[in-house]
Structure 1
Amino acid sequence: MDMMLGPEAEPADEKPIDEKPIDEKTTNRKDEAVERKKRAILEACKTRDFAALRALAASPGGFLTDTIRQQAWLVLLGLPPPPPPPPISEDTKPEDEEDNSWRSLPPHRDEDQVQLDVNRAFVYYPNDQSDTQLSHSKTLLSTLIVQTLRRHPYLSYFQGYHDICQVLLLTLPPASQPAALSHLSLLRIRDFMLPNLLPAISQLRLLPDILRSSDPELWHHLSSTEPFFALSGTLTMYAHDITTLGEITRLFDILLSRDPVFSLYLFAAIVRSRREELLDIPENEPEMLHSVLSKLPQPLDLEGLITQAVELEKRFPPEGLRSWRWEISRWSVLKTGRGNRVYTQGLEEGRDAFERQVKELEWRERVKKARGVVWKNRRAIRGVGFAVVVAVVGVVLRRYYHPVGGYRQFGEREGGMLEYVIGLVGRWWMR
């Protein structure tokens, strides 16, 4: 008897794909945990609970979304949360007409370099813009940077600053961006906006100290390599080296929630994460070590690195590092931004510290010149006596000296008798 043909049956040797069932309970628990964290962040922003924000930023995912970051970042920068957007009406001003008072200010000396860097911006993200949109984004970025520099003309622009500004531009609401950048510039990255990069290089001296304390073997292996490999990362808050917007905003969560010195601990964690790779490179090949260290590892385990950096700072606080006393100015943002002060300082405090650090840099330059004068005339001075050494140094320093409040650091660095004498004379003049 003929069999009736029905729908085509599956071959006996084939089975349907076994799809993994969705665990709704687990998914629901994760969703609930995310919602609880969102509420906790918003509540901490509302009450300005900085300790809670620090802890939440260090937990996986950081502040989770850009909408939440728009509130959290401003609070951490010492600003009020953004106001709700005004209702749209015929009287509402277009965005580019909100505040143009900066345009009448004198041009900043670095505006040509700003434009060169802005022309190279938005290389990696966002990557879905048309040419017209990209041009508009660059205009907004240039406007944000230039108005900040014109309003604070004593600041010096550095290459890579535009990378930091780009992150703020793409994350914060337009009305909040100028104030946020001003606070960031004066209270977080002020050391990099001084007349020269010596304070930035001084910061790098902390990195070997962290490695010496936490991993003596790795530190010894890298001891022939100068820590300049960390300059790009620490100078630009890693915005120049990280190529995805999601990763850099996540990283800004932790950098803005902690003291500025944390950036050095983060780089130490990055170095330690490559321990085996680095130990395989002969220590007598510093160029190769530098080449490896100057590039961030890929893929970048941000959550793991953040956890390790937090632990490093807890175990080896900066006050216990050798270079903290000798290399870091008392007016450095690393010292003026310790603890809750980093969240509560105002722009005037930042400018005052900036001016004092500039004077300190000038003082050190005079000291350097004075040492050169004494060294050049050392034979004649040796014949006259030690008293003349003190007198000569005193006259030179008095001629060029401008009082600053950071005198306790002068003469404290390890050095010879001349360094010690200069320090004593400097302290005497500053009384």
Structure 2
Amino acid sequence: MKKAKRPKNNARCRVNDSGAAAGDSWRKQKLLEIHKALHSDPVDVETLRRAAVSQGGLLTDELRRKVWPKLLNINVYDLPYKPGRDVRENHKDYNQVLLDVRRSMKRFPKGMPITQRAVLQEQLIDIMLEVLKHNPQLHYYQGYHDMAVTLLLVVGERTAIAMLHTLSNHHLRDFMDPTMDSTKHILNYLMPILEQVDADLHDFMIRAEVGTIFALSWLITWYGHVLSEFRHTLRLYDFFLASHPLMPIYLAASIVLHREREVKDTECDMAMVHHLLSRIPQDLPYECLIGRSHALFDQYPPSLLAKRAALQSRKSLSISSFQAFQLSTLHQRPDTVLQHLNKAKGSSTSRRGFESALAKDGGSLWGKGNRMVKVAVWGLSATLGAAAFAVVQTAMDWGPEVLLQLF
């Protein structure tokens, strides 16, 4: 692959850069390329990765539901785990998970009815505990729920469990050790990147003794915790799911470099610089920053940065397993084939299934008169993700009987 040109020290992305191109021809062409890659046998994962990284990302949530699992080698027609409530009170992390989920209101779409959000929060708890139950070597961290809720809102409960399981054992693995040592190791890649690109900015931050803790929440939540616009979070998830586990650190470096003038104009004091950097602007030019991060990764790969003494003392599980993980994604069958192969297993949800679930449901989130809607919403969000809620909202205005006609 041809090496990217070294970014200029003073190169900055324009704030009003929205990543839009003239006309819709590029978008139509990209949609065709993604659909062609999805229907190739085996699936053309390399094309899907390029699409996720390049301008506009995966474009729609409908495509994300199809492409995200392929990027992680997940067969959505043969998901290994089913959510259950049996693990809740007996799991060591249940109380902390419950507290974090209760504080997660801002991560749900604005205007979502309380009843719908309550269902999703229950699913969010089940998703995380299910993954932790099957992976006792993993340790919950605060911010894990920010990862889980993004997956839930896009792909639904069942697929979110499978995706979070894979991510937890690969991209997020260093964050899930019993101590913060591995996480600190990943954060330690930030300053060497800055030193390579802008020595003056690097030296300023060293003198200020600001460290890298300001980027901690960015890294462990893939920026989901700090961004107010969900569409920006989704764009970054496209990028990170298709990239090396260290790419969030390269994006952090790109953001700091983008704010070079602000940083240097700040008093060279730890508290002042930390205060500035820890409050991430909401109007960042994401497409430009993604492109710059990709270029930085090509020019200063982790292997080059790791030659520094501070990065040689510890081995990253995320980094060491990434090449084998990427290779494992290259021999997937298209969904049309997988659906045919798994059709006999009766994976589709039917009205009978909902009625059976309703008979067993003793939930108290909604009143007895609304249980039918609750179960239907649960089923929709478990299989379709956030896109279902536009349909659900309309159907709820008409009544439960209309909602059930969707199945």
Query: Aligned letter for 1:135?
Result: A
* SS of residue paired to 2:194: helix
Q: Cα deviation per residue 1:48-107 (whole Å; 9 max; x = unaligned)?
A: 333322321222210000110111111111213x349xxxxxxxxxxxxx9356736983
Instruction: Give the equivalent residue in structure 2 for 1:292.
Output: 276
Deviation at 1:233, TM superposition (A): 0.3
Distance 1:300 1:73 in 2: 24
Q: Summarize the alignment of residues 146-295 of structure 1 with structure 2, pairs less than 5 Å apart.
A: 146-223=129-206, 224-283=209-268, 285-295=269-279
1:22-421 pair list within 5 angstroms = 30-46=23-39, 47-80=42-75, 82-83=76-77, 99=82, 103=86, 107-223=90-206, 224-283=209-268, 285-322=269-306, 326-327=310-311, 329-338=314-323, 341-342=325-326, 344=328
Determine if contact 1:141/1:166 at 8 Å carries over to the other structure.
yes
CA distance in structure 2 between the aligned counterparts of 1:288 and 1:129, rounded to whole angstroms: 37
Q: Contact 2:182–2:316 (CA<8 Å) still a contact in 1?
A: no
Instruction: Give per-residue Cα distances to partners, 1:127-174, cap 9 Å, x unaligned.
Output: 122221121111111111111111222211100100110000000133
Superposed CA RMSD in Å reads 2.6
Closer, same or farther in 2 for the Cα pair 1:279/1:179, shift >3 Å? same
**How many angstroms does 1:343 deviate by?**
5.7
1:343 and 1:290, CA in 2 relative to 1: closer, same or farther beyond 3 A? farther
Cα distance in 1 for partners of 2:155, 2:118 equals 19
Preserved contact between residue 83 and residue 127 of structure 2 (Cα < 8 Å): no
When Rg is computed on C-alpha atoms for both structures, the one with the higher figure is 1
Name the CA shift for 1:100/1:126 in 2 (closer, same or farther; >3 Å). closer
| Distance in structure 1 (CA, Å) of the matches to 2:157 and 2:32 | 24
**Cα distance between partner residues in 1 of 2:123 and 2:141:** 19
Identity %: 30
Query: Does the Cα contact within 8 Å between 1:234 and 1:263 map onto a contact in 2?
Result: yes
AA in 2 matched with 1:76: L
CA contact (8 A) 1:206 1:323 kept: no
**Deviation digits for residues 297-326 of structure 1, max 9, x if unmatched?**
231211111011011111111111146665
CA shift digits 1:167-196 (9 cap, x unpaired): 000001333121111001111101111101
- TM-score between the two structures when normalised by the length of structure 1: 0.66
Distance in 2, matches of 1:152 and 1:123, equals: 28
Q: Is the 8 A contact 1:108 1:153 kept in 2?
A: no
Return closer, same or farther for 1:275/1:104 CA change in 2, 3 Å cut-off: closer
Cα distance change, pair 131–37 in 1 and its aligned pair in 2 (3 A): same
Match of 1:56, as an amino acid? A
Cα contact 2:52–2:238 (8 A) shared by 1 = yes
Supply the distance in 1 between the matched residues of 2:288 and 2:50 (Cα, whole angstroms). Answer: 15
Aligned residues: 304
Structure 2: how far apart are the matches of 1:120 and 1:66? Answer: 25
Change in CA separation of 1:325 and 1:343 when aligned onto 2, cut-off 3 Å: farther
| Offset of residue 45 of structure 1 | 3.3
Q: Higher relative CO (CA 8 A, sep ≥ 6), structure 1 or 2?
A: 2
CA distance in 1, matches of 2:326, 2:198: 29
- TM-score, normalising length from structure 2? 0.69
Deviation track 1:230-256 (CA, whole Å, cap 9, x = no partner) reads 111001111111122111111100000
Give the drift of 1:336.
2.1
Structure 1 counterpart of 2:400: none
